[in-house]
Amino acid sequence: MEQEQRFLGVLGSSPFRIAVVYSVVFALGVVALLGAVYFAVSQVVDSSTDNLIEAEVQGLREQELVLSRSDFIELIEQRSQDQDVRGAVYLVVDPQLRPVAGNVPAWPKSAANEGKWIQFKVSVPFGDETRVHEMRAENFPVYAGYRMLVGHDVQERQDVKSLMMRGLIAAVVLTMLLGLGGGFWMGRRILAQAGAISAVATQIMRGDLSQRLPVRDAEDELNSLAREINSMLDKIEQLTLGMRTVLDSAAHDLRTPLNRLQATAEAAMTQLAPASNERRVLERVTSEVDHMRSTLDALLRIALAETGTVAREAVDLSELVASMVELYAPVTEERGIRLESSVIAGAEVQGSRQLLAQALANLLDNAIKFTPKGGHIRVLLRLHGACPEVVVEDDGPGIPAEKREIVLGRRVRLDEARKFPGSGLGLSLVAAVTKLHGARLVLDDARPGLRVALKF
Amino acid sequence: MHILIVEDDQIARDVLAKALTEVGHTVDVAVNGLEGLQLASSAAVDLAIVDRMLPKLDGLALVQSLRATGRKTPVLILSALGEVDDRITGLRAGGDDYLTKPYHMSELLARIDALARRGDNGSAEANTKLKLADLELDRMSRRVMRNGKKIELTAREFQLLEFMMRHSGQVVTRTMLLEGVWDYHFDPQTNVIDVHISRLRQAIDKDFDKPLLHTVRGAGYSLREDE
């Protein structure tokens, strides 16, 4: 099966197609060239025999004038027996077309009404056997009512011609076969290299930036292309790793002082009486630290998703969506919102389970935030063609069409949303995670409400 | 319990050491990875809290070296990095738990408690029956009984209760529940865990005099028999 697919793949490759076109062109060239040679050679051979026959006929006509009929027949008889003149044929017939002299057993049927030149077949002895040979002859009347044939065995000529014709066909077939075979071989070679390139590209897309294209020990276009792509990949890896390092140090430099702040405030709180003013201040401090932490976490996750360096694994999307629905079901029920879901089984994507879960949680958090009591939230996992699609729909206020693009930008909160809590990074994170997974994020009107679709 | 803190940030280290001492632990401190590895290799240490980025020897390398010598001392990794992947690498290196800075002291204490008891509860892990007061949970038949009365739970409520029972007497935080029961590592903006807990509470405590599932203010929940 795989073998067959590889074979069909080669047939579809561009080198093979080019080879097909070229072998057809070359085959036509071969036909033209050998055809011309064939034509010229037949021309020469044909006319030389015809000249020979013409000359003989000329001679015999002169003899006819000076010889009596019986002498003429004698002469023909002699010439017919002459072994030196190999391949020459003679035949004299009476008005009833009965042979009178010559070395052809019977008047050829085809010669009856045809013109001057005729062609016919005669059995001739050849060693122990007899063979049917092609003869070419001129037929003309002699004496009163008699007719005669003077011709020559043209079998050899025919043999040469058919040999040439066979050679021509063989040359054409060979050209085609060589062309197709060469094309197949080149197609396979290029396909193998293209396959290697796309395999590496896939792995790089999955976040493994250490992969490089295989470079062979040759100086051809594909190799230099591979080399250039590799140096491009070096650059990308450097940049991405650099970004990762910057991210890590930024994370470190922000988390460390936040941690000190949190630790110090918490330590101080334990020394204070529960309802004291100082304690309340410190509680404000720790709650601000919490807020900063969640903003920082979101920003870092967005940045991380955007570097594309997150390790990927096979994620059971069906399990993930079902378990997120299950996780959020009680809270929606408590708030008087109906959570409906329809999840197909067996959907799988390559990616980060945690980031996908976070993205879905953000969508559900948002939906819950904006859906009034008595409203609906619908979560769907369905197949769009062969690709899974996750949809989260609410019947809250929705987002006006002209603002849908804007909300995907970082830290955008629409005025209408200011009365709701949140960092404003939720959808940005969803967008980054969607992009990381090579998916498309589509915001739509759910009439009423917002429909968010992640199309993988 | 004898706890080793390997942390280069002085303020964080001092506050942590003080907090742990206050709840009754003996504390050793190390300011860099090499020192940390030396101390961690001593038999006296019951648990180690290791910062991810340390001078001289990186936190991950420390844990790896410790594991290479065959030591199974529970290790909690503290990290100030970007997370998501780092958590996986941290656990792969041999860490038993992973906490990102800034953390709440209550979260850290709850996790330390859970790690320390994991050793004792090794038998409970294999036990098919968990029991607390008159509450019984059978993992094989997936049945829960309280005071001889059968309690109907959903599959998730069962898992939640099983987790709480394996950590009975300890404080279990919301993140620990989300990680332990759902295997998710994020902070939901909605109080999803609280609602799950309140449902579980409805199921196991509602018809009985003595509540077993308690809310620990500012920290999480605890399943215990109240004195």
pLDDT tens per residue across span B156-203: 889 999 899 888 888 999 999 999 899 898 888 888 999 999 999 888
Any chain A CB within 8 A of the CB of B23?
no
Task: Give the Cα separation of A82 and A293 in Å (integer).
Answer: 121
Q: Which value, to the nearest 10 degrees, does the dihedral of the CA atoms of residues B174, B179, B185, B189 take?
A: -30
| pLDDT of amino acid B203 | 85
Query: Would you call B184 and A327 a contact, using CB atoms and an 8 Å cutoff?
Result: yes
| pLDDT of amino acid A422 | 57
Q: Which of A252, A328, A422 sits opposite B192 (nearest CB)?
A: A328
Task: Give the Cα separation of A443 and B183 in Å (integer).
Answer: 29
**Overall average pLDDT of the A417-429 stretch:** 66
- Window 52-91 of B, Cβ < 8 Å to A: 53, 80-85, 88
Any chain A CB within 8 A of the CB of B195?
yes
Any chain B CB within 8 A of the CB of A436?
no
pLDDT tens per residue across span A332-386: 998 999 999 999 988 888 888 989 999 999 999 888 888 888 888 999 999 888 8
**Main-chain dihedrals φ then ψ at residue B83, nearest 5 degrees:** 80, -160
pLDDT tens per residue across span B97-149: 999 889 888 899 999 988 888 765 555 556 788 888 888 888 888 888 888 88
Radius of gyration, CA atoms only, chain B:
19
**Residue B167 burial by Cβ neighbours in a 10 Å radius (0-12, 13-18, 19+):** buried
Task: Give the Cα separation of A156 and A162 in Å (integer).
Answer: 10
The pLDDT confidence band at residue B4, using thresholds 50, 70 and 90, is very high
Task: Give the Cα separation of A90 and A188 in Å (integer).
Answer: 64
Query: Would you call B84 and A301 a contact, using CB atoms and an 8 Å cutoff?
Result: yes
- For B100, the closest chain A residue by CA position comes to A255
Task: Give the Cα separation of B178 and A327 in Å (integer).
Answer: 9
- Element containing residue A129 per DSSP (H, E): strand A129-142
Specify whether the CB–CB gap between A359 and A430 falls below 8 A: yes
Any chain B CB within 8 A of the CB of A275?
no
| pLDDT of amino acid B149 | 84
**Residue A1 burial by Cβ neighbours in a 10 Å radius (0-12, 13-18, 19+):** exposed
Q: Tell me the one-letter amino acid at A259.
A: N
- Element containing residue A280 per DSSP (H, E): helix A277-307
- For B194, the closest chain A residue by CA position comes to A331
pLDDT tens per residue across span B20-50: 998 899 999 999 888 889 888 887 888 999 9
Any chain B CB within 8 A of the CB of A243?
no
Query: Would you call B80 and A358 a contact, using CB atoms and an 8 Å cutoff?
Result: no
Bin B153: left if φ > 0, else alpha if -120 < ψ < 50, else beta: beta
Helices then strands, each counted (H, E), chain A: 10, 12
Query: Would you call B104 and A364 a contact, using CB atoms and an 8 Å cutoff?
Result: no
pLDDT tens per residue across span A234-250: 888 888 888 888 888 88
pLDDT tens per residue across span A70-99: 888 888 888 888 765 567 888 888 888 888
Asked if omega into B102 is within 30° of 0 (cis), the reply is yes
Any chain B CB within 8 A of the CB of A272?
no
The pLDDT confidence band at residue B86, using thresholds 50, 70 and 90, is confident
Radius of gyration, CA atoms only, chain A:
48
Bin A119: left if φ > 0, else alpha if -120 < ψ < 50, else beta: beta
Query: Would you call A256 and B9 a contact, using CB atoms and an 8 Å cutoff?
Result: yes
Compute the half-sphere exposure of residue A362: CA atoms within 13 Å on the CB side of its CA.
28
Q: Tell me the one-letter amino acid at B105.
A: M
Q: Which of B9, B12, B186 sits opposite A354 (nearest CB)?
A: B186
- Report which of A409, A396, A383 is spatially closest to residue A449, judged by C-alpha positions: A396
Residue A432 has pLDDT above 80, yes or no: yes
Contacts of B12 in chain A (CB under 8 A): 256, 259-260, 263
DSSP assignments along A145-158, one per residue: TEEEEEEEE-HHHH
State percent of chain A over pLDDT 70. 91
pTM of the predicted model as reported, rounded to 2 decimal places: 0.69
Place of tokens 């002469």: A75
Q: Which of A244, A248, A357 sits opposite B186 (nearest CB)?
A: A357
Angstroms from B52 CA to nearest CA on chain A: 10
Query: Would you call B186 and A364 a contact, using CB atoms and an 8 Å cutoff?
Result: no
Query: Would you call A323 and B182 a contact, using CB atoms and an 8 Å cutoff?
Result: yes
Side by side, the strands of the sheet bearing B97-100 are B26-30, B2-6, B47-51, B75-79, B97-100
Contacts of B84 in chain A (CB under 8 A): 301, 304, 310, 352, 354-355
What 3 state SS string does chain B have?
A: CEEEEECCCHHHHHHHHHHHHHCCCEEEEECCHHHHHHHHCCCCCCEEEEECCCCCCCHHHHHHHHHHCCCCCCEEEEECCCCCHHHHHHHHCCCCEEEECCCCHHHHHHHHHHHHHHHHCHHHHHCCEEEECCEEEECCCCEEEECCEEECCCHHHHHHHHHHHHCCCCEEEHHHHHHHHHCCCCCCCCCHHHHHHHHHHHHHHCCCCCCCEEEECCCEEEECCCC
Contacts of A369 in chain B (CB under 8 A): 189-190
Residue A397 in 3-state DSSP?
Answer: coil
The interface predicted TM-score (ipTM) is 0.87
State the sign of the Cα–Cα–Cα–Cα dihedral A397, A398, A402, A404: positive
Query: Would you call B102 and A311 a contact, using CB atoms and an 8 Å cutoff?
Result: no
Which of A249, A254, A266 is the mutation pick for testing B, counting most B CBs within 10 A? Answer: A266
- For A358, the closest chain B residue by CA position comes to B186
